[in-house]
Amino acid sequence: MGTNTLAARHYLASPDMPAASLVAASLAWRHEPPPHGDAATLLSRELVPLYLHYLDDHIVRLRAVGHHRLAERFRRWRTRLLS
């Protein structure tokens, strides 16, 4: 089992994670392509919340270790994503 699969399963084991259906579907898509339109629907609905979760987590972690400039870049990325 690859690192990405383990990371996805770890992510799904946490309650109330954003974009859980997208992450779960991505695991299934490794074995069988999604039905026509399913991937586009999930991506359009859940990709931005997944990125926001990623960015928020990293902003906090970067600030905690004193990487304020990089945290600020992530914050600007987050702002652009929402605009």
Q: For residue range 4-35, what is the model confidence (pLDDT) as tens digits?
A: 999 999 999 999 999 999 999 999 999 999 98
* pLDDT at site 58: 97
Q: Which residues contact residue 44 at a Cβ distance below 8 angstroms, ignoring those fewer than 6 apart?
A: none
Quote the number of domains for the chain: 1
State the Cα–Cα distance between residues 23 and 46, nearest whole angstrom. Answer: 9
Is the pLDDT confidence value at 78 over 90? Answer: yes
Note the pLDDT tens digit of each residue in 38-65: 999 999 999 999 999 999 999 999 999 9
Tokens of 34: 């999604």
Residue 10 CB neighbours (<10 A) = 10
* pLDDT at site 1: 78
Q: Quick check: 18 and 53 in contact, CB under 8 A?
A: yes
Q: Quick check: 78 and 59 in contact, CB under 8 A?
A: yes
Q: pTM here?
A: 0.85
Range of the domain at 49: 3-82
Tokens of 25: 């579907």
